[in-house]
Amino acid sequence: MSDGVTIRTRKFLTNRLLSRKQMVLEVLHPGRPNVSKQELMEKLAKTYKTDAQSISVFGFRTHFGGGRSTGFASVYDSLDALKKVEPKYRLVRKGMAESQKTARKQRKERKNRAKKFRGTKKAKLSANPEKKGK
């Protein structure tokens, strides 16, 4: 980890319902374009005495002129809580989940085919996408 990087936490909140600590991170990094999320997770893990896998950092914006970035962080009590609460796209970014393999056009076509049906027929169509339910 590089020296000269300072992390400040603002708006700290302990969220018992989602079993996490959430905060706004203010990162001071003079002379550097930005700080990697991995580096931030490791520094937060050391500060909050947890492993870096149970931390999620996102939404960073570098301020004009550089040297300062602001983002959001969640420190989860356990890995299970993180997997249960975090959005799927963030889990994919962390390498904890697989992304959708179907093509976007196929998903849209399936959605539009399903719009023509109601109730159990729609459920059958989504369960068996190969057949056209006409």
Rounded Cα distance between 45 and 110, Å, is: 43
CA distance 1 to 41: 11
What global pTM score does this model have?
Answer: 0.74
For the chain, 134 residues long, give each residue's pLDDT as a single digit of tens: 457 899 999 999 999 999 999 999 999 999 999 999 999 999 999 999 999 999 999 999 999 999 999 999 999 999 999 999 999 999 999 988 888 888 999 999 989 998 988 888 878 877 776 655 45
Would you state the pLDDT for residue 121? Answer: 83
Q: Which of 39, 36, 49 has its CA nearest to residue 75? A: 49
The reported pLDDT for the residue numbered 129 is 63
User: pLDDT at position 7, please?
Assistant: 95
* Cα–Cα separations (whole angstroms), residue 58 to 19, 41, 69, 90, 131: 18, 10, 11, 8, 40
